[in-house]
Amino acid sequence: MAEFFIRSLDASTIFTIAALGELIGQRSGILNVGIEGVMLFGATLGFITAKTTGSYLLGFLVGIAVGGLIGLLHGIFSITLGGDQVVSGMGIWILGFGLTTYIGSPYTGPLGMERIPTILGLSPFFFVAIGLTVIIWFILSRTSLGLRIRSVGENPEVAEVSGISVAKTRYLCVVGGGMLMGFAGAIYSLDYNPVWNYNFLLGRGFIALALVFFSMWNPFILLGGSILFGTLWQLSLNPQLFLPGLMSRYIWRTVPFAITLGALLLMSTKWFRTKWGAATPEALGQPYVKD
């Protein structure tokens, strides 16, 4: 039982860090639906690096760097070229899926390194995730940079007139966000489940994406949601644990999406909007072209 919860929290760690990466990008107005692809890149290249060099540190660094690089690519397409962000994101996912399968297959199998030590039975990255949540919340709500990010995501034109560079701010966010996604991927392949297999993320990136919408773009709700989703995910792996024979794992896995849909429906009600205002960053997904 305790092990079940530990596994759930470990699973939520990956959701949290990846979703935080998506959240800062979205807060600046850039949607990256290719989060699963970015994570696959980070996970695979981080795994290969660690396996060949025997260094966890290098593995993580490569995972983070690759994530940042893909983020940059997404930025060039959607910020500088003003392309459709959904198209670019889908491209990243398909590319990530194909390319990592191709690069990774020779390395199929376990990592074969000593496991990363745990703290109180939990992965140390769980605490990193909590730290990151607090830091990102602080940056977004209490700093000048955060105000700039939020403004750019709400109304780039207004931000620009106020003397803020929309492009710079958005690049910062997509690259930083990509790094977090790559990091989350590397945590998966180096710590959570250090065995390489093709498509081993099984849609965790998409759960992280849903999580951002569920969180109403608030890091703390995101953290809570990710623990909930982590638990549900874990349940989907061992459904017999609580409700034997009730539902197949594939049904269980859709539950986070159903919950997210519910949250989105709630957010779009008149009641919610008159009470809290619109939660979605106003300019999300829209290219900004200066005239």
Partner 1 sequence: MYKVLPENIKRGHTILEARGITKRFPGVVANDRIDFKIRLGEIHAVLGENGAGKTTLMKILFGQYQPDEGEIFIGGEEVRFKSPLDAIDLGIGMVHQHRKLIPAHSVIENIILGHPRAGKILNLKRAEQEVLEICEKYGFSLDLNAKVWQLSEGEKQLVEIIKALYRGAEVLILDEPSSALTPVETEKLLISIKAMSEGDLAIVPFITHKLPIVLQISDRVTVLRKGKVVSCIDTSEATEQSLAKEMVGRDVIFRTQRTTVEKGETIIQVNDLSAFSDKGVMALNGVSFSIREGEIFGVAGISGNGQRELVEVLAGLRKPEGGSVSLDEVDITFADSLKRWRLGIGYVPADRIAMGSIADFSLVENVTMNYYFDHEYYRRGVLDTKKIRELTNDIIAEYDVITPNVDIVAKCLSGGNLQKLILARVLSRKPRLVIVDLPTQGLDVGATEFVRNKLIDAKKEGACVLLISEDLDEVLSLSDWVAPIYEGEFMGILPGEDAKRELVGAMMAGIHLDEESA
Residue 274 interacts with partner 1 (CB under 8 A)?
yes
Return the sign of the alpha-carbon dihedral for residues 206, 210, 211, 217. positive
In the complex, the smallest distance separating the C-beta of residue 143 from partner 1, rounded to whole angstroms, is 5
Q: Which residues contact 248 (CB under 8 A, 6 or more apart)?
A: 239
59, 50 Cβ separation under 8 angstroms: yes
Tell which one of 26, 151, 189, 226 touches partner 1 (CB under 8 A).
151
Instruction: Compute the distance between CA of residue 263 and CA of residue 235 in angstroms, rounded to an integer.
Output: 21
- Across 214-242, b (16+ Cβ under 10 Å) vs e yields bbbbbbeebbbbbbbbbbbbbbbeebeee
Length of the chain in residues, anyone?
Answer: 291
Q: Considering only 28-36, 157-165, 201-209, 258-266, which stretch makes contact with partner 1 by CB under 8 A?
A: 157-165
Give the count of residues interacting with partner 1 (CB under 8 A). Answer: 24
Residue 28 interacts with partner 1 (CB under 8 A)?
no
Residue 268 interacts with partner 1 (CB under 8 A)?
no
Helical packing angle, 204-214 and 2-27, nearest 10°: 70
Tell which one of 6, 90, 164, 167 touches partner 1 (CB under 8 A).
164
DSSP assignments along 237-275, one per residue: H-GGGTSTTSS-HHHHTTHHHHHHHHHHHHHTSHHHHHH
Residue 154 interacts with partner 1 (CB under 8 A)?
yes
Residue 289 interacts with partner 1 (CB under 8 A)?
no
Residue 134 interacts with partner 1 (CB under 8 A)?
no
Q: Considering only 82-90, 137-145, 224-232, 243-251, which stretch makes contact with partner 1 by CB under 8 A?
A: 137-145
Tell which one of 45, 149, 159, 166 touches partner 1 (CB under 8 A).
159
Tell which one of 163, 244, 245, 289 touches partner 1 (CB under 8 A).
163
Residue 145 interacts with partner 1 (CB under 8 A)?
yes
Measured from the CB atom, the residue of 104 and 281 that comes closer to partner 1 is: 281
CA distances from 69 to 62, 66, 76, 180 (A): 10, 5, 11, 11
Binding site for partner 1 (CB under 8 A): 142-148, 150-151, 154-155, 157-159, 161-164, 270, 274, 277-278, 281-282
